[in-house]
């Protein structure tokens, strides 16, 4: 059933109504908070869909373990690290929150990761991409789900260099994520004998016009223009590049973090032919189609992104671990739940089977896709053709190369 909770955050952001499983045998609920971008440039890939992904997991787990009572909160942190920390502290101090989920901004995720370590609570990062979260910023109190900059660079960058894209110019969001994604991809380009001809860092948030950055990329004559940004920024770059006729003149765009809501926003006419990597696609197999059939009717018939499916997958595995260690232990120690999550693979219909490594990196296959042309698409959201699956060992950075002390 759904129950309401009173009270608002001092920042003025209302918490979502708490979602509770039907049985209420336990005295204290497990509380999960989705800290996300509800209205900004990342909201289509994260936002309400990430909240829904977690809610679907809670509903499904209630049928498996009806005695475990769970409350779900959410807040929009406006892509501001200081707001993220204000919300996180209030959740932990006032609301007895046990798990913080998502946080699609790398700098905010780093700060939240340190906070949950200090308080012995848990965090599962789904939206941020910075691979240092399981490298020198790793912690026994958090995990990193879905993807990271290393996996995107390894899957997409390698494929494009092998196909002849050996000179690159990067347009990157000027914060930790953008720099990490550009640096990781540049590393693969240079290892393969390619060259990076230039970079342009765009202020984030706040860049509305990417014209000057695209013109710099065009004048570099690089074969590949790597877009190390995400969400609405990537969409705007691709649309503007189409208006300028950049790809018609021989340069190719590489959306290094491009997801299916972005492709829908761009349209197949402008996006066709783009190569990209994702951890999830709604039409990949029977399991992903089953998850999408539950998700879409509750979000305006939109198919889930890899991050929205990731929030479902992460929440399912967390709840299994919390039930295993017991509610009192789970509420007393986030590390105890994270340790239990590392003891067995995560299995669900969206992500199939994942391994939770000691450094907190959740590994699984990544999939290399190419965007279909309008003529190839059979129905709405039929956007991708699969080029190849990349094994977990190839897709994610080896555990001994990240610098994690765990």
pLDDT of residue 7: 31
pLDDT of residue 1: 25
pLDDT of residue 9: 32
Asked if 406 contacts 133 with a C-beta cutoff of 8 angstroms, the reply is no
27: left (phi over 0), alpha (psi -120 to 50) or beta: alpha
Q: Which domains does the chain have, with CATH numbers?
A: 30-147+284-363 (3.40.50.2300), 150-278+366-399 (3.40.50.2300)
A 10 A CB-CB count for 178 gives 28
pLDDT of residue 26: 58
Asked if 149 contacts 130 with a C-beta cutoff of 8 angstroms, the reply is yes
Whole-angstrom Cα distance, residue 222 to residue 338? 44
Is-cis flag, bond preceding 205, omega within 30?
A: yes
A 10 A CB-CB count for 393 gives 10
pLDDT of residue 227: 95
> Which parts of the chain register pLDDT below 70?
1-26
pLDDT of residue 351: 98
Q: Phi and psi of 404, rounded to 5°? A: -80, 130
Q: Phi and psi of 388, rounded to 5°? A: -170, 160
Question: Residue 275, SS3?
Answer: strand
């Amino acid at each position: 059933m759904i129950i309401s909770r009173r009270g608002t955050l001092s920042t003025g952001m209302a918490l979502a109504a708490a979602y509770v499983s039907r049985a209420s045998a336990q005295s204290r609920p497990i509380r999960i908070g989705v800290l996300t971008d509800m209205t900004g440039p990342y909201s289509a890939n994260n936002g309400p869909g990430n909240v829904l992904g977690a809610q679907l997991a809670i509903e499904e787990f209630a049928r498996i373990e009806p005695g475990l009572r769970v409350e779900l909160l959410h807040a929009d942190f406006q892509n501001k690290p200081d707001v993220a920390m204000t919300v996180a502290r209030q959740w932990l101090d006032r609301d007895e929150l046990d798990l913080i989920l998502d946080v699609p901004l790398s700098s905010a995720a780093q700060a939240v990761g340190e906070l949950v370590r200090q308080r012995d609570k848990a965090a599962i990062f789904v939206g941020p991409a910075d691979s240092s979260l399981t490298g020198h910023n790793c912690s026994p109190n958090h995990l990193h789900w879905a993807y990271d900059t290393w996996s995107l660079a390894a899957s997409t960058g390698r494929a494009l260099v092998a196909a002849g894209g050996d000179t690159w110019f990067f347009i990157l969001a000027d914060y930790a994520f953008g720099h990490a994604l550009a640096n990781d991809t540049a590393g693969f380009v240079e290892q393969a004998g390619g060259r990076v001809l230039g970079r342009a860092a765009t202020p984030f948030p706040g860049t509305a016009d990417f014209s000057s950055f695209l013109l710099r990329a065009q004048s570099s004559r690089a074969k590949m223009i790597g877009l190390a940004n995400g969400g609405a920024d990537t969409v705007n770059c691709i649309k503007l590049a189409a208006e300028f006729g950049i790809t018609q003149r021989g340069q190719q765009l590489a959306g290094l973090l491009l997801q299916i809501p972005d492709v829908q926003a761009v349209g197949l006419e402008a996006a066709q032919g783009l190569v990209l990597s994702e951890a999830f696609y709604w039409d990949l197999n029977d399991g992903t189609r089953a998850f999408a059939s539950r998700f879409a009717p509750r979000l305006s018939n939109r198919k889930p992104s890899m991050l929205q499916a990731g929030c479902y997958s992460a929440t399912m595995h967390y709840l299994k671990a919390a039930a295993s260690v017991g509610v009192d232990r789970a509420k007393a120690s986030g590390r105890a739940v994270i340790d239990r999550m590392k003891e067995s693979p995560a299995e669900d219909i969206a992500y199939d089977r994942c391994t939770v490594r000691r450094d907190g990196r959740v590994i699984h296959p990544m999939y290399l896709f190419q965007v279909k042309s309008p003529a190839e698409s059979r129905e709405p959201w039929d956007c991708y053709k699969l080029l190849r699956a990349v094994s977990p060992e190839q897709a994610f950075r080896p555990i001994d190369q990240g610098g994690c002390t765990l």
